[in-house]
Amino acid sequence: MLGPGPVQAAQRVRTSARIVIAGAGAAGLAAAARLAAQLDGARITLVDARKEHYYQPGFTLVAAGIKPQSYVVSTTAEYVPGSVELIEERVAEFDPEGKRVVTDSGRALPYDYLVVATGLMLDYDAIEGMEVGMIGRNGMGSIYHSPAGAAATWSALSTFADQGGVGVFCRPATEMKCAGAPLKYTFIADDHLRRRGNRGKAELIYNANNKALFSVPIVHEKVRMLFRDRGIRTNYDHVLRSIDLGRRVATFATPEGTVEQVYDFINVIPPMRAPDAVLNSALRWQEGAWGNEGWMDVERGTLRHKRFPEIFGVGDIAGVPKGKTAASVKWQVPVAVDHLVADIAGRSSDALYDGYTSCPLITRLGRAMLVEFDYENNLTPSFPGVVAPLEELWVSWVMKTMALKPTYISMLRGRA
Amino acid sequence: MKELDPMVFLAVFQEMLGPLLWVLVLLAVAGVAAFVALLVKERTLVSARLVRAELVGLLGGVLALVLMAKVSSSGFTDAGGPADWFLIALVFGVGLAGTTILAYALGGWWRCRCCCARRT
């Protein structure tokens, strides 16, 4: 869980390279901190229009009623290293042949090296009938939308936990941010119902998008058993296509055709894809589902772009097999930065990202499974023999609620 | 976690506790120093004072557990395996030992001060 150590100032490389970092979320800020610490004289520019910084791993806790909305909101500026320029504009265009990015005001930023950390786009429009302004109303929640959306989802869930009825949970068929969160929220709903003595009045349904609950087979099996134990009905190959917010009916695409599902509470998780600037550029995968969704075509071990070696893609935008999570960011960024700095210094780097990511999978309020794995679906426990990865433990919950945010903030500052 | 870097732990605890981290470190160092200094001065462990300090220590252990439950938004009924019992024992133990040492040192030095005051 804890990442590579802090950057050593003594190893600074002298350079006048122009480095543009597109996106000042977790990956962009962590990259800026590490580059600023390792390079002396580089002109590093961060580009991001959003002034707030969101601690996204905390959205589930806000939507669970455990933490207030303010827990996940801070400002981007407070994490930007002093030597780094922050341009508060959105990247509108990537021009990898011309080695420049263009902002939405038309400002062109030439670069020698580019780090793409734009994050991803929540494609709510792809669900017919969905209106984000309705989140929190009439039994519809969506924990991913925003801090306010997560808080509004909690009010909808709390009402559901008081009244009971049919609770529907699902995930999209695209690549997605933290694939454990839809499962966590199902467990959280179950626990709130039990604590209020209303579990008997509720039916909980989890609609998986394919034939698995989790991409790592051994974790899928464990979650399948837990769902069985908690009385959560599971459907496979169900993908949310449209929703009637007034009638509270969700329509799912299945191999047998569409299926309508009446709900009293639903957690809508939209399809996710690359932001338009990446999707419409030469940076994306050129074929297959990842091409359609626009994820960046990077080498999975180095995060270096396959066709433009001076470009790296880190965080959610990277088209790699596992984990769009903060834990992935923590391990990806030092690897990409090491390769970038090695290029500048004229040496080679053997830093390799093996796909490590982690998911403190909450299975009830007060307990979680600390699931850590890599590209090959191997479990990679940080505390082997002490914290068992597939055991529901309080210690894992304690880590999620107490240690993760400080670790994350340390990562933004390049100290973890 | 491929490597355990003490500086990473320090950064994380600094982020978690802010200035309170240094207050706690200072308190721990001062408490242990006062305890050791008292032992050197008296050249013995005063059993009656130690028992009283241990009783206060029990309270300290419980307080540490209550604090832990509060900041982690959970309770000890959530313990689900050996690692949890180990953590509970650890938190209680640290609270107990820390408070006992502090209470013993404070009690000892308070008594010395009173004795000195009486002599003058």
- Tokens for A64? 């669970």
Q: Which member of B8, B78, B86 has the closest CB to residue A366?
A: B78
Mutate to test the interface with A, among B7, B12, B77 (most CBs of A within 10 A): B12
From chain B, pick out residues whose CB is under 8 angstroms from the CB of A366: 74-75, 77-78
pLDDT at B1: 44
From chain A, pick out residues whose CB is under 8 angstroms from the CB of B72: 397-398, 401-402
Tens of pLDDT, residue by residue over B54-83, are 999 999 999 999 999 998 998 777 999 999
Q: What sign does the CA torsion over B69, B75, B81, B85 have?
A: positive
Tens of pLDDT, residue by residue over A101-117, are 999 999 999 999 999 99
Q: Which residues in chain A come in under a pLDDT of 50?
A: 2-3
- Tokens for A89? 């504009």
What kind of architecture, by CATH, is found in domain A9-120+274-355? 3-Layer(bba) Sandwich (3.50)
Instruction: Report residue B111's pLDDT band, with 50, 70 and 90 as the boundaries.
Output: confident
Domain assignment present for B1: no
pLDDT at A7: 56
Domain boundaries, chain A: 9-120+274-355, 124-272
Query: Which residue in A402, A367, A188 sits closest to B79, CA to CA?
Result: A367
ipTM reported for the complex, 2 dp: 0.86
CA pair distance A5, B7, nearest whole angstrom: 7
Structural element, H or E, at residue B3: none
pLDDT at A11: 76
Tens of pLDDT, residue by residue over A154-171, are 999 999 999 999 999 999
Indicate the number of domains in chain B.
Answer: 1
Of all residues in chain A, the one with the smallest CA distance to B71 is A402
Of all residues in chain B, the one with the smallest CA distance to A395 is B84
Tens of pLDDT, residue by residue over B6-40, are 888 888 888 888 899 999 999 999 999 999 999 99
pLDDT at B2: 47
Buried b (16+ CB within 10 A) or exposed e, B95-109: bbebbbbbbbbbbbe
pTM above 0.80, yes or no: yes
Instruction: Report residue B120's pLDDT band, with 50, 70 and 90 as the boundaries.
Output: low
Q: Do domains A9-120+274-355 and A124-272 have the same CATH topology?
A: yes
Fold of domain A124-272:
FAD/NAD(P)-binding domain (3.50.50)
CA pair distance A294, A283, nearest whole angstrom: 8
Query: Which residue in A323, A386, A8, A21 sits closest to A178, CA to CA?
Result: A323
CA pair distance B44, A93, nearest whole angstrom: 76
CA pair distance A157, A81, nearest whole angstrom: 39
Answer yes or no: are the C-beta atoms of A89 and A46 closer than 8 Å: no
Eight-class DSSP state of A55: -
- Tokens for A250? 């969700």
| Domain range for B41 | 6-119
CA pair distance A184, A362, nearest whole angstrom: 5
